[in-house]
Amino acid sequence: MRAVAVQAAPVLPSGLFERLAWHWRYNPKLEFWIAWYSMVFFYNLFGVVFVGMTRVMPPPQPWWDTPRVVQWFNDNHNGLLVGFGIIFLVSGLTAACNALIGYSMRRMSVSRAFAYSYIAIYSVSALPGMLLTAIALTVGAMRPERDPELIYWLYDMGFMCFVGTMGIFLIGTLVWMIAILIDKNRVLPKWFGYLNICNLITEFVVATSWVFKKGVFAWNGAIAFWVDTAVFAVYTVAFIYLLRKMIKREDFGDGPLPA
């Protein structure tokens, strides 16, 4: 098979749609940018749904009595069902984020085993990260007349799946961290490697939420929730920024495509 003759890219036109059309046709980094914008879109939507619509972040109290839990579901009925409907719909976008991170490891001076194990581990990360929570709280919200004890059980399932599921993120972060720290190509800075350690440690700390129902170690506590979420937010913003830098640095030129 022969490569298609290369067309010289015309000058970037003005006007939003013309520019988008130009990028679609000529931008040699289009595949990267599709994945990067999917990731940014996903994390923004995640924030809107979990904070604004479903009120899952910050989480309600683990020590409420049953009527208060039922009331929480009733207060947030539509927010939960619509918000998690959106999450069910866009959950596959997490694959774009994992693909970019996997690619960053392909560029490093490390074995391909790192990229492959990261993509394999994170291909199911949406389940403990959000989907199991979303399923439990959706089922909790869909029948307000359900036995309150069962609604309470779904509430526990929802929040413990959200805060207390750790291993996938622990091992996934560990794989990326090792790759960054031993990489000689300087694809990502070393300080970010160390930031991975912070994210990794939070995964140990949140284990306390399985034991404590009150105080700083409970699922809504200052340590198990707030410190954990703050670290995760800094970590996420950092890697979104660094992946953008990585894409900008890639030098493809505009040569012919591989056939």
Can you give the binding site for another protein, defined by CB under 8 A? 1-4, 28-32, 34-35, 81-82, 84-96, 98-100, 102-103, 106, 119, 122-124, 126-127, 131, 135-136, 138-139, 141-143, 146-147, 150, 153-154, 252, 257-259
Nearer to another protein, 56 or 95 (CB): 95
Nearer to another protein, 41 or 191 (CB): 41
Q: Minimum Å distance from CB 14 to another protein? A: 24
Q: Minimum Å distance from CB 204 to another protein? A: 26
Whether the ω angle into residue 28 lies within 30 degrees of 0, i.e. cis, is no
Contacts of 129 (CB under 8 A, 6+ apart): 94, 165, 168, 169
Angle between helices 30-47 and 94-106 in degrees, nearest 10: 130
Nearer to another protein, 12 or 30 (CB): 30
Nearer to another protein, 31 or 215 (CB): 31
Nearer to another protein, 62 or 83 (CB): 83
Q: Minimum Å distance from CB 73 to another protein? A: 12
Nearer to another protein, 140 or 221 (CB): 140
Q: Minimum Å distance from CB 112 to another protein? A: 11
Q: Minimum Å distance from CB 127 to another protein? A: 7
Q: Minimum Å distance from CB 81 to another protein? A: 5
